[in-house]
Amino acid sequence: MAYCTAAQVQAVVSPVFFDRALLDTADQTQETQFALLAAVVDNEINGYLTRGGFELPLDSTPAIIADCAIKLCSSMMAQRRGVKYDDNPWGFDAKTARETLELIATGALSVGIDGDTEKEPLVSDPDDDLNFEEDDQNGLL
């Protein structure tokens, strides 16, 4: 099961761009091309989820995971069209999706499924652990 659908991605990138990005080969249909692209995105997301201790496959796709998948697919479609990284209109979205997935992998962000809870921060109250006088004496300030 892909974390996003072709229709969800098409709503983001526009139907014309979607068609152009996927219909560049006579060997495969648009559906096949999208399935291949979605599989690459799913594998990337699964890497983060596995690191986070999630049991795969997920029973359902949390909205935050679907959003990340849509962003990654959109960016990869532009890459398929030869758009350079800095010119990719969905490049920033893909970067933020990866940052979100990293937060999920480390437990800093919950995806809202059973058994998934945000981990306590390493410093529960930053003021309790700050000793500016000592840091100043040690040359850290």
Q: Which residue has the higher pLDDT, 103 or 130?
A: 103
Distance CA(55)–CA(132), nearest Å, equals 43
Distance CA(26)–CA(40), nearest Å, equals 21
pLDDT exceeds 80 at position 133: no
If you search the block for the tokens 């959003």, which residue do you land on?
Answer: 67
CB-based contact 3:66 (threshold 8 Å): yes
Q: Measured on CA atoms in the order 123, 53, 102, 7, is the torsion positive or negative?
A: negative
Structural domain spans, the chain: 6-137
Identity of residue 65? I
Q: pLDDT (tens digit, 9 = 90+) per residue, 21-61?
A: 888 666 778 899 999 999 999 999 999 999 999 999 999 99
Distance CA(90)–CA(72), nearest Å, equals 8
Q: pLDDT (tens digit, 9 = 90+) per residue, 69-113?
A: 999 999 999 998 889 988 999 999 999 999 999 999 999 999 987
Report for 8-22, 59-73, 106-120: range of highest mean pLDDT: 59-73
Q: What is the pLDDT of residue 23?
A: 82
Q: What is the pLDDT of residue 132?
A: 52
pLDDT exceeds 50 at position 122: no
Distance CA(141)–CA(129), nearest Å, equals 15
